[in-house]
Structure 1
Amino acid sequence: MRHKDDAVRVVAAGVAMTATVPYLTLKLLWLTGSEVGVRDPGALDGLWTLNLLTFGMDAIALALTLAFVRPWGRRAAAGLVAFPMWVATGLLGTILVAVPADLLSSLVLGPEHRPPGQHADDGLAGWVFALVYGGFGVQGIALITAFVLYARRRWAGLLRARIGDLPDSPTRNVQRALAAVAAPVALGVAAARAYWAAGGTVGLPLRWADDRGRSIATMEAVTAAMAVVAAAALLVLAFRIGPGRRLRVPLTAAWIGAGSLFGWGGYQLVAFGTSTTVPDLPGAVPGLMVLVQAGQFSAGLLMLAAGAIALTEWGAHHHPADVESPG
């Protein structure tokens, strides 16, 4: 069984590495001044910083795949592996939910020809979005598969534990306080995203309000669902609800949901803040979008703090043999 898992992990890592190449190549071309895949020469204006950021993020994902298959990967500090993978899971996991949902809506309601996040006037060729989101889909499945098999080996004890096994320590009240703040913020974000998914336009940029496709609505709905899942899972963990239940179910839900909040909230704040072509906002509640993005990022950050405290204490209270599987 171990040999089979190792083989699958190596193959998944190889697929994930291959899937990053087209995206990294495209970003590198844009960073060096190329306009390949650009229909509107002004489409890349003001996006150099954002392109550099996304290039760096995918380069980190490439490095993660090596950590999952090389011996030094199991010796690396847990945080150096867990944090970037947490963000990657949130970003890619959201896409892995949104893209099939968007395709399903196209089958039922007819094609719209807009991948999640694309607006009609983005000025990029259609194949760019097929390459980017197709690559993200393959990369997401492969990278997450490799990580799951890596985690099953490195943190086997944690994944076998039950909620009641979490240490009862002085920081438990801190964890609960963080959860008590993060959960309502996440639910507020979910309410706003659900409102926009249902067709509401208050607080949206004017061009988004005037040009909202189903793909945008799908992404908003998935983000709202991620926020609800993250809030519920965090409360279960922080308040030890159902102590006899397996820890891995709420832990996985919190991992994906909180990663989505933090990753997409942070990305959208940077994208909105660095763009030189940010459209005007409607007069009613003009700062609502930025407020929601900031709340999304903040909720994810608070969840990160609560999780880091809990998992650090777990490691301190358990012998390495109880945390990692042998071999």
Structure 2
Amino acid sequence: MLRNIAIASCLPYLALKAAWIAGSRLGIPDGSSLLDHRTTMIVANAATILMDGSVVVIALLLTQARGLRVPAWLMALPMWTATGLLLPIMAGFPVQLLVGLLGGGTPATANAGRRPFLDDWVFGVVYTGFIVQGLALGALFVLYAKDRWGSLWQGALRDLPDSPTTPALRIGAVVAAVIALVPATMHLLWAAGGTAALNPSRIEERTSGFYALQAVDVLFAAATVAGLLLLAFRRTGKLPLWVPLALAWGGSGAMACWGGWMSIASLTGAQEISDEPTTGMVLLYAVQMLVGAVVVTQGAYFFAERAAAVREAAEPSGPRP
């Protein structure tokens, strides 16, 4: 059932993208910047079709026996990336809708003289599909991870044994946590109304929804820091191990993958000079990706050691006959 839901939720997005590649203007208003560069739009839509199509592949692997034979990194890394791309939408889109219902509208000057991009209904259809994808795919991955790696992430945090690399992992966790404070500070500044490093169009278009999304980004950074430090220093009583792992997984994925997505978007060109990202914004995206790279490296070492310890504990002790 969950597999079918995950696959079905991809269909609206894939259908729209295929229609645009074929030349349809469904959901694209007259004067949209998407109509200016036909080749670029085709390439971009083809790439995003492959990205969303990978959700179908992942859903199949998570629910078939062959998926258990896929190398661990080849399952974990795409799922971490999917988490990072979907989680900000799953958290941010409902927040935007709620803020809009409470009266947080668009400034009167925000769209004055600006070219349209997409019809509003497109965002509702696409983002709703992404939310369903995230929920279904997340549930499938938890079930898959429980069957394949349950011994690695279950138990209490305080029961984690020290290892020869524990000091190095702690140093790495502290470094990543300190780096994560940079984007956390910037998003907090923007959530509070600051304009440092924002481009002119972003400053002009700020709404209550913008401030709320910046607050959500702060929470992702805080989750990353909390998860890393809990795993590194383990001074918590009976806290389940999966809690800091989930915090580090989701928080770092959201920071890194969304930072990467925004970096790619900044390279595709802007409608106007005022739309171009500032140097500060580009650096922020790079720092977010750096945090993700450090966390992924830390996670690889952590789980490799956990797997080795579990195998060693499972081996019979004493001399062999």
TM-score category (smaller protein)? 0.7 to 0.9
| Contact 1:182–1:299 (CA under 8 A) maintained in structure 2 | yes
1:1-327 equivalences in 2 (<5 Å): 11-39=1-29, 40-43=31-34, 45=37, 46-109=40-103, 121-242=115-236, 244-277=238-271, 279-280=273-274, 286-319=278-311
**1:6 match:** none
> Does the aligned pair in 2 maintain the 1:205–1:279 contact within 8 Å?
no
Task: Give 5+ residue unaligned stretches, structure 2.
Answer: 108-113, 315-321
Given residue 290 of structure 1, which amino acid in structure 2 is its aligned partner? V
Distance 1:225 1:50 in 2: 30
Q: Could you report, residue by residue, the CA deviation over 1:14-41 in whole angstroms, capped at 9, with x for unpaired residues?
A: 1011001111222233344433211134
- Alignment partners' CA distance in 2, 1:309 and 1:279: 44
Aligned position for 1:4: none
Query: How many Å separate the matches in 2 of 1:103 and 1:205?
Result: 24
Q: 1:78 to 1:276 in 2, by over 3 A?
A: same
> Kindly, what percent of the aligned residue pairs are identical?
37
CA distance in 1, matches of 2:26, 2:148: 42
C-alpha contact 1:24 1:58 (8 A) present in aligned 2: yes
Aligned partners of 2:104, 2:204: CA distance in 1, in Å?
20
Gaps of 5+ in 1: 1-10, 114-119, 323-327
Distance 1:219 1:51, change over 3 A: farther
Give 1:259's aligned amino acid: G
- 8 Å CA contact 1:203–1:286 kept in 2: the answer is yes
| Per-residue CA distance 1:89-144 (angstroms, 9 max, x = gap) | 2222222221222222233336669xxxxxx7551111211111111111111111
Larger C-alpha radius of gyration, 1 or 2?
2
Q: Letter of the 2:289 partner, please give it.
A: F
CA contact (8 A) 2:33 2:116 kept: no
d(CA) in 1 for partners of 2:60, 2:45: 23
The 1-side partners of 2:162 and 2:51 are apart by: 36
Q: 1:251 is aligned with what amino acid?
A: L
The residue type paired with residue 149 of structure 2 is W
Aligned equivalents of 1:321 and 1:14: distance in 2? 38
Per the normalisation by structure 1, the TM-score is 0.84
Cα RMSD over matched residues? 2.5
**Offset of residue 217 of structure 1:** 2.4
With 288-297 and 267-276 compared, the bigger mean Cα shift is at: 267-276
CA distance in structure 1 between the partners assigned to 2:165 and 2:23 by the alignment? 51
Counterpart-to-counterpart distance in 1, 2:135 and 2:68: 21
1:54 positional shift: 2.6
> Aligned pairs, how many?
304
